[in-house]
Amino acid sequence: MNLLPAHRKRSRDPGDNREMIDARRRVHQSKLYQPLADRISRELGKQVRDEASLLDLGCGEGYYSGELLRQLAGVRLHGVDISRPAIRLAARACPDGEFAVASSFDVPLADASVDVALSVFAPTAEAELRRLVAPLGCFLRVTPGPLHLWELRQALYARPRPHPAPTTRLAGFEDADQQSLQFEMQLQGQQLQDVITMTPYAYGGRREHKQQLAGLQSMRLQADFVLSFHRRLPA
Ligand SMILES: C[S@@+](CC[C@H](N)C(=O)[O-])C[C@H]1O[C@@H](n2cnc3c(N)ncnc32)[C@H](O)[C@@H]1O
């Protein structure tokens, strides 16, 4: 479903474009980020019961949505993303989920109708989270840890800086419990280009550094994530 009103669009085709989405889909299909998907499903599995309502904000082409549906029996899964091509792929890949082209800043779901909201590297709006997440429900935000893709950033930038620590504060929620997850990824051939294409690094770094990277057959990259679990305060 496309539930993004035309007057709310800031550009003709908002969100990630087809090239970024295809690159991310190949990366996810090759299971490079599987340890993150497993950790998310395992931790959210502790929070949900049958029929729980899960919302994947900025769900992209539905990789984490699909893993949640596969690993957590009986949940109802909704995904929103502002990118039309992303939602088309998500809906096809996860026929048991419900997907809509919509903004995380204006989600077409009722107040307090979400037991668990998830955002993996995607923008969210605090007021919408307070409106949507039911009392004692949970919001999981996944952000890059300090050394995420560090070797890539070293190769692209003269003085790369570690990612800052995400805040534990979110009004209307308890202070977050945070977990970190780190693992190594061995990238081969096209995978390196795909990781660059699906990240903001596609737009940064010097051209000659990118050409050097394009010549590499393989590269070891550190994956580093922070998972922040925010519990919604009682009504
Ligand atoms: C870095 S990608 C992450 C996608 C997915 N969560 C994943 O990790 O595979 C960020 C996603 O947020 C989407 N996005 C950007 N702004 C958005 C908004 N205002 N509302 C909903 N989605 C948005 C983009 O289209 C993109 O698919």
Helix residue ranges per DSSP H, 17-62: 18-29, 34-45
Ligand 1 geometric centre to CA of 100 (Å): 13
Is residue 150 lining ligand 1, measured as CB closer than 6 Å? no
Ligand 1 geometric centre to CA of 124 (Å): 9
- Check: CB of residue 133 under 8 Å from CB of residue 233: no
> Is 137 assigned to a binding site?
no
Residue 5 has pLDDT above 90, yes or no: no
193-223 pLDDT per residue, tens: 899 889 887 777 777 777 777 778 889 999 9
Q: What does the pLDDT average to over 13-25?
A: 90
- Identify the DSSP state of 234: P
DSSP state string for 125-136: -HHHHHHHEEEE
Ligand 1 geometric centre to CA of 21 (Å): 10
Report the nearest atom of ligand 1 relative to the CA of 14.
Answer: 25
177-188 β-sheet, strand order: 98-101, 76-81, 53-57, 114-120, 133-144, 218-231, 177-188
> Is 148 assigned to a binding site?
yes
Residue 149 has pLDDT above 90, yes or no: yes
Q: What does the pLDDT average to over 28-48?
A: 96
Ligand 1 geometric centre to CA of 132 (Å): 18
> Is 61 assigned to a binding site?
yes
The pLDDT assigned to 203 comes to: 72
* Residue 187 pLDDT class (50, 70, 90 cuts): very high
E strand or H helix that includes residue 206: none
Lowest-confidence region among 5-9, 69-73, 93-97, 105-109: 5-9
The pLDDT assigned to 1 comes to: 83
Residue 230 has pLDDT above 80, yes or no: yes
Separation of alpha carbons 114 and 123, rounded Å: 17
Residues for the chain: how many in total?
Answer: 235
Measured by CA distance, the residue closest to atom 18 of ligand 1 is 103
In the chain, the domains with their CATH numbers are 6-145+163-184+224-231 (3.40.50.150)
* Residue 143 pLDDT class (50, 70, 90 cuts): very high
Separation of alpha carbons 167 and 230, rounded Å: 11
> Is 66 assigned to a binding site?
no
The pLDDT assigned to 4 comes to: 82
Q: What is the mean pLDDT of the chain?
A: 93
